[in-house]
Structure 1
Amino acid sequence: MPYTASLSDLLANALAHRSTLLSQLELEQTDCYRLFHGSVEGVAGLTIDRYGDLILVQSFHKPLTDEILTIIRRFYADVHPGFDLIYNDRSARNSRITNPLPDDQVAAASMPRVAHETGVAFRIQARHSGQDPWLFLDLRAARRRVTQLASGRSVLNLFAYTCGVGIAAAHAGATFVMNVDFAQSSLDVGKENAKLNALGIRPRFIQSDVFPAIRQLSGLGQAQRVRGRRLPPFPTLEARQFDLVFLDPPRYAKSAFGVVDLINDYPALFKPSLLATRPGGTLMCCNNVAQVEGTAWLAQLERSAAKAGRPIRDAQWIRPDADFPSFDDNPPLKVLELSV
């Protein structure tokens, strides 16, 4: 690869550019962050993250050569001596991890670990049955904002994954937290995260397709049959409104209950989430599709809110921290804090 001669310099430059942020994160009791964001910092498709005492290297465009891996290992052995470094090649179809590990790295890759963000402990594992890390680091700024808002409030965390937002909210003093996700395996990690922290409440973990869950919570209701066809079973939930609702859907997903489509139909999820947010509350919306332009997306949400009779009173952008730089200050992950 043409960048081998300068890769060490690129890694060093990335670390230098993070110096101010890393000092802030240390004060916040955070030991997980992106060390190298290759798409902007010189090697497209390469990411390098720290999670506690783990360095996780991942390639998304093409496998790394042994030469490249050796350069990376040597660099971070000096920066973080004693840390385990695990490489996941995710360049194959569907981003599945394909590279076998040397025998001496298998145990380290599957070992349960703990990393911290703003003083909150999270379960981390380099390799597990899923594809993605158990804590998405680009969402840190949004989780930080949740911790600033959550004290004394009820919180609904939709598409909760491993419940990072919900656990952070409970840790910050939320009075009630409900996490909703379709994958029980992700919720199980969320339950482990809850046990790792001294929480003042016991968060709820709801295994459900988000569509029937949010329709019930919003008061819109979810039918058990559509056009004579019986829908899959789903948990029964009472309608209620929350002080803070966090909506972080995937780019695209299809189920018997509806289609998640962040490009063409964000309002399908936005409207019931808005109705489940109490008047005067906060709705935080995420969109991770790079080609969605922020101003147009906000205008779409404003139109949807007005049509639902719940206009947006104020909107603030929450931008990722400096370890997720972007070429044009328009990062792929867009997060809006909406006062409704």
Structure 2
Amino acid sequence: MQFLLNAIATMALPTDAQRLFHGRGGLFAGCEQWALDAFPPVLLLTSFQAVTEEQLATVGVALSTRWAQIAPDQPLNWVFQCRAEGQLETRLMSGTVPDPHVVTENGASFRVHVLKGQNHGLFLDMAEGREWVRRRVSNYAPDQPRLKVLNLFAYTCAFSVVALKAGAKLTVNVDMSHGAMAIGQQNHPLNGISTGATFLMHDIFKTWGKITRSGPYGLVIVDPPSYQKGSFIATKDYAKLMRRLPELLAPGGYALLCLNAPELGLAFLQDQMQALAPELHFIERVANPAAFADVSPERSLKVLAYQMPSLQVPVSDALGSNA
């Protein structure tokens, strides 16, 4: 636990939502079970193994000591969540949690819920993916029509918020979860966005007609769960999405493919893309946030960017006719 305690003893006062300690990355021996996140003004400590009350008390003292140093005029609000098999628990350890609870990330605001469920409304490891989308939309060629974005497995629509704030014309958000999409619908006006977002609460594989009707898209984001029985199983279903990309994308458009499955490496995405959508060119792997450093990049979150070729203008058309 010492690495976790050391991180607490040196942490700065967090203002944006972010990960503060990532034991799951395997870089801190003996702390693989621990994660510490900031959802200001709340800290969330997560353990993936059972813990003792003594261990929690030790962390509590460390947090109180550091908080008194960096925020002496603010109460310490912290929540503990245990995700050990058969011992799921979420407990408010100190202070309070705002309701509604709104956090910020790089100028955008999002509703979160740290006292219920294991997904809290904003995936912190996708921060660089959202930044990639913001930059891509912001830098979209001014001589092109304003960007349309398709956000598949939209969850609470964070990608949509970022894209519209950056200047996208339209976002189409698709997800089966009515609860997550309801939060997504709240996130848009929270950021001063009143138009441009469409919400389809359907099974993606049964909604292609509605999805393609708003296309083609300058950017397609695919961020599915790696395994969700009855909804999506990466090893079986990701290929179905890849086959659709060429018809969904406008010339020169981008696809952002995300996969958070430790057992599936980069080759799982790259080999299938080469076989199923060879028209798209691999651009880059988007780096994960530094706080999520992992001993094995193959096991960590994978976010890959691909691009559809631009239309090639025939030489005769470009030069004009001599007739």
Equivalent residue for 2:35?
47
Equivalent residue for 1:321?
289
1:114 and 2:108 are equivalent in the alignment = no
In 2, distance between residues paired with 1:149 and 1:176? 15
1:279 and 2:251 are equivalent in the alignment = yes
In 2, distance between residues paired with 1:265 and 1:203? 26
Contact kept, 8 Å, 2:169 with 2:196, in 1: the verdict is no
SS at match of 1:88: strand
Alignment of 1:120-269 (within 5 A): 120-128=108-116, 130-151=117-138, 152-199=146-193, 201-214=195-208, 216-218=210-212, 238=213, 240-255=215-230, 260-269=232-241
1:338 and 2:309 are equivalent in the alignment = no
In 1, distance between residues paired with 2:16 and 2:50? 28
In 1, distance between residues paired with 2:295 and 2:7? 16
Alpha-carbon deviation of 1:149? 1.6
Alpha-carbon deviation of 1:70? 2.1
Contact kept, 8 Å, 2:7 with 2:20, in 1: the verdict is no
In 1, distance between residues paired with 2:239 and 2:51? 38
Contact kept, 8 Å, 2:78 with 2:92, in 1: the verdict is no
In 1, distance between residues paired with 2:176 and 2:38? 28
Q: Percent identity?
A: 27
SS at match of 1:123: strand
Alpha-carbon deviation of 1:200? 6.6
Alpha-carbon deviation of 1:64? 4.9
Contact kept, 8 Å, 2:90 with 2:115, in 1: the verdict is no
In 2, distance between residues paired with 1:88 and 1:280? 44
Q: Give TM-score, length-normalised by structure 2.
A: 0.81
Equivalent residue for 1:90?
83
Q: Which has the greater radius of gyration?
A: 2
Select between 195-204 and 153-162 the one with higher mean Cα deviation: 195-204
* Partner AA of 1:319 in structure 2: A
In 2, distance between residues paired with 1:171 and 1:72? 38
* Partner AA of 1:86 in structure 2: V
Matched positions, count: 293
Select between 64-73 and 295-304 the one with higher mean Cα deviation: 64-73
* Partner AA of 1:137 in structure 2: L
SS at match of 2:242: helix
In 1, distance between residues paired with 2:240 and 2:149? 20
Alpha-carbon deviation of 1:12? 4.2
In 2, distance between residues paired with 1:239 and 1:245? 12
Alpha-carbon deviation of 1:239? 6.0
Gaps of 5+ in 1: 219-237
Task: Note the aligned Cα RMSD (angstroms).
Answer: 2.6
Contact kept, 8 Å, 1:287 with 1:334, in 2: the verdict is yes
Alpha-carbon deviation of 1:53? 1.4
Alpha-carbon deviation of 1:123? 1.0
* Residues 23-79 of structure 1: per-residue CA shift (max 9 Å, x gap): xxx9xxx71110010123341121111122111111122235333332443254234
Equivalent residue for 1:36?
21
Return the match for 1:74 from 47, 64, 79: 64
SS at match of 1:295: helix
